[in-house]
């Protein structure tokens, strides 16, 4: 549960709701950002964690999560109307039951046991498909090589097309959301020219890829989202 002082300092126009056990802020539909919610899914030691939060501030396809310390920026697969987000979480409530949600919702999140990870991954991909992610991606082969490329529409589709010609399983480890993908991609390529293997492939660790993305205003993907 949020501390009283945190609730008191919440942005004007927000109210707190626990009706589904997912403790998240509800912004009225007529408020700024059109009453939009962001949905975040991540992997943590105790299982897969899903959280919903309103778009308090955003940059491209990323949103600031009010519920996290210091307004930490979380990756979101999509930004959807509040009514649609609420419907999706009602679907989860129907599957697991109200009591389960209320018992497991902690720190504005609800954890889904590792045994149910396949369900959550399927649900996420089915509902969002990485729609609208425009920018520069860092795709790792897990062996010290990272492809730095750009996408103008669907990141998941782009990853699948890359996978067809790759002998290694590829995982997107970082992403820079920007409307100027070509320019940013060129700048990142130039910064790492000494590490270029060939084409858009560079010799770097996953950690180095994330650091590079952050340096250009991006963010690292959670392991679960690869």
The string of pLDDT tens digits covering residues 67-96 is: 332 222 233 333 333 344 444 444 444 444
Its pTM stands at 0.47
Domain coordinates in residue numbering, the chain: 4-127, 135-225
Per-residue pLDDT at 83 = 42
Burial class (CB in 10 A: 0-12, 13-18, 19+), 9: exposed
Per-residue pLDDT at 175 = 80
Per-residue pLDDT at 102 = 33
C-alpha dihedral (183, 186, 190, 194), degrees to nearest 10 = 160
Q: In the structure, what pLDDT confidence band is assigned to residue 149 with cuts at 50, 70 and 90? A: very high
Per-residue pLDDT at 154 = 63
Per-residue pLDDT at 162 = 84
Q: Is the pLDDT of residue 108 over 70?
A: no
Q: Is the pLDDT of residue 11 over 80?
A: no
Burial class (CB in 10 A: 0-12, 13-18, 19+), 30: exposed
Per-residue pLDDT at 169 = 84
């Amino acid at each position: 549960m949020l501390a009283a002082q945190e609730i008191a300092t919440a942005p004007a126009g927000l109210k707190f709701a626990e009706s589904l056990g997912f403790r998240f802020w509800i912004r009225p539909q007529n408020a700024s950002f059109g009453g939009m919610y962001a949905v975040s899914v991540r992997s943590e030691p105790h299982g897969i964690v899903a959280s919903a939060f309103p778009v308090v501030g955003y940059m491209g396809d990323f949103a600031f999560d009010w519920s996290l310390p210091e307004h930490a920026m979380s990756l979101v697969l999509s930004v959807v109307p509040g009514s649609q987000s609420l419907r999706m979480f009602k679907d989860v409530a129907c599957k697991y039951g109200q009591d389960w949600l209320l018992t497991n919702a902690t720190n504005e999140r609800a954890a889904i046991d590792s045994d149910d990870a396949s369900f959550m991954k399927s649900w996420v991909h089915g509902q969002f498909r990485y729609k609208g992610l425009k920018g520069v991606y860092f795709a790792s082969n897990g062996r010290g090589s990272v492809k730095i490329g750009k996408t103008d529409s669907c990141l998941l589709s782009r990853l699948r097309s890359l996978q067809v010609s790759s002998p290694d399983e590829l995982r997107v480890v970082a992403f820079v959301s920007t409307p100027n993908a070509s320019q940013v991609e060129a700048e990142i390529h130039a910064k790492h020219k000494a590490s270029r293997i060939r084409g858009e492939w560079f010799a770097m660790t996953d950690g180095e890829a994330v650091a590079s993305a952050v340096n250009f205003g991006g963010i690292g993907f959670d392991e679960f989202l690869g």
